[in-house]
A and B are shown apart, each in its own frame.
Chain A
Amino acid sequence: MSVFEAGSLGMFRDLVGENAVPRPRPLIDESGRYSGGDVDTHATTVIAVKYKDGVINIADRRATAGNTVMYDQAEKVMALDDHTLISISGSFAKSVEVVRYLRHAFKYYERSQLQSMSLDGKLQELSRVIANNVPAALQGIGAFIPIVSTFEVDGGGPRIFFYDVLGGQFESADFGSAGSGSGPIRGVFEYIIRTKGPFREMDREAALKESLTMLEIAAELDTATGGSAKYLPAAKYIVEDGIHDFTEQEVKVGLGKA
């Protein structure tokens, strides 16, 4: 390997070639038949809400395969950079692979081009990854649907983006939720906003408490969402100076367990 063969404009996809994620999979199998099926369910519940000073992300810790609980300590809220969190629902393996890819892609751009990739650039890259994953999703091997939360330090403040399975991107004014547990609690968001006011006016503790309550409800209504009996949910927040973990104590207080 020589150092004198560089020169891609920060395009990580070009750099890693066929190792880029996701690897395209044909929808037509060798016998010429359409090999697609239904998009598999995306077991999990992840929640993102804006609050007064930033944005909170929480997620349950259960990873499932069919009816089996595979793992109860999964980390579904992951940092993409110092001000961006991605919360994933769906295939855990695929999600981890994608997050690894995106982290490298964003850092590679920043280090080689000496400037951060724009927010639009990052979201575009994520949309492309989801869109390229559609064939795999249709074959029932690895659909994943993320929520992206970020804090724009140059005045944009907290922002939340959610996606459909084709890579379509939507921005949310208040909150986002994904995973099989998100359906059952959809109405709870509305109820809280109507009775207690918008999340973006709450302080950090109040917004965490409401989010955790919703996660608990999701765990009760959805088998693929883990509760907090064995392991505490993952909880992080982003403010002006970056990403922080909620302490165990804060999460326990939010759950009413302290």
Chain B
Amino acid sequence: MRYSPYEWNESINQRNDYIEDKLKEGSPVVALSYDNGILLLTLRRAQRKIYEIYDRLVFSAIGNQSDIESIRTGAIDIAHREGFTRSPDDVSIQRIVGFAVSPSIKKIYADPFAAPVVLRALFAELGKKPVDDQIFIVSYDGEFTSNRKMAAIGGTPYAESQMLDHVKSAFSGGMPTLDDAIKSSIFAWGIGRIQTDPDAGDADDTEPASDRNADIRAFINERVDEGWVVEAAVLERETTRESRYRQLSEQQLADAIASFKQI
């Protein structure tokens, strides 16, 4: 079967629509550097969403669970093979994402007869110094962007930019503490999710900022009451533990979650 340029264009557009429609339902994920590492945070119903890939590499994604899983296990395999045969220092986000994950996704995306990868992924690498922290976002077409200090993935590009606008404020006084980073991320999640949540109604950008903030707080509270769980994990820069990766416990998150209860 041969393709005309027109048909190729059509097929790509249909793919994009199909994938973007599915991604809309994804629960956003926020990543940001704080004074002793990198935090990844999301709210979820059941399935765990934040994963350790290697000593200094974490991963989270929205999209089809099976696609997320194959990218996750693939990245883990490559990182460990590389880290063992060479050195853990040779496992870098640039090599894993740039030379393994991205080309693999691109190859599938470009094949009109293959089911596309439905995913928007976030990889974060902890640097030796805070300025070396890197966060990559990989799209379903294999394209990726590199970010410093903060990044977010959400249902739509608009939701992502809104989330980032909020997270920026966490850096107004230099690097945030972990507590501040957690609170800022939960709120940013609310901003991102309220845009695409089928139960939330249309977010109204025209109302005063204070009303909008109250709406978002109420929205976050509702989700927590419905049983959504705050999931957060960090890569710690200074630690005496063998692993830098640590999932934050309910206890450690309780204060931050409670702060949204107060109006």
Complex Cα gap A245–B240 (Å): 9
Closest chain A residue, CB of each to CB of B107: A2
Q: Which residues of B contact A77 (CB under 8 A)?
A: none
Whether A3 pairs with B75 at a CB distance below 8 angstroms is: yes
Complex Cα gap A122–B73 (Å): 21
**Which of A5, A108, A244, A245 is close to B74, meaning CB atoms less than 8 Å apart?**
A5
Closest chain B residue, CB of each to CB of A8: B77
Contacts A15-B77, A79-B242 known; A3 to B84 CB distance under 8 Å? no
**Which of A1, A16, A111 is close to B53, meaning CB atoms less than 8 Å apart?**
A111
Whether A104 pairs with B80 at a CB distance below 8 angstroms is: yes
In whole Å, how far is A129's beta carbon from the nearest beta carbon of chain B?
14
**Which of A2, A16, A108, A242 is close to B76, meaning CB atoms less than 8 Å apart?**
A108
**Which of A6, A104, A242, A243 is close to B73, meaning CB atoms less than 8 Å apart?**
A6
Contacts A15-B81, A104-B80, A108-B80 known; A4 to B53 CB distance under 8 Å? no
Closest chain A residue, CB of each to CB of B95: A1
Q: Is B85 an interface residue (CB 8 A)?
A: yes
How would you classify the secondary structure of chain B's contact residues: helix, strand, loop or mixed? Answer: helix
Q: Which residues of B contact A66 (CB under 8 A)?
A: none
Count residues of chain B with CB under 8 A from any CB of chain A.
29
> Which bucket holds chain A's interface residue count?
20 to 34
Q: Which residues of A contact B73 (CB under 8 A)?
A: 6-7, 112
Q: Which residues of B contact A7 (CB under 8 A)?
A: 73
Whether B78 pairs with A1 at a CB distance below 8 angstroms is: yes
**Which of B74, B107, B242 is close to A81, meaning CB atoms less than 8 Å apart?**
B242
Q: Is A114 an interface residue (CB 8 A)?
A: yes
Whether A16 pairs with B84 at a CB distance below 8 angstroms is: yes
- Interface pairs (28), CB distance under 8 Å: A1-B78, A2-B107, A3-B78, A3-B101, A3-B104, A4-B70, A4-B74, A4-B104, A5-B74, A5-B77, A6-B76, A15-B81, A16-B84, A19-B84, A81-B242, A100-B84, A104-B83, A104-B84, A107-B80, A107-B243, A108-B76, A108-B80, A111-B53, A111-B54, A112-B76, A242-B241, A243-B242, A244-B240
Give the A-binding residues of B (Cβ under 8 A).
48, 51-54, 70-71, 73-78, 80-81, 83-85, 99-101, 103-104, 107-108, 240-243
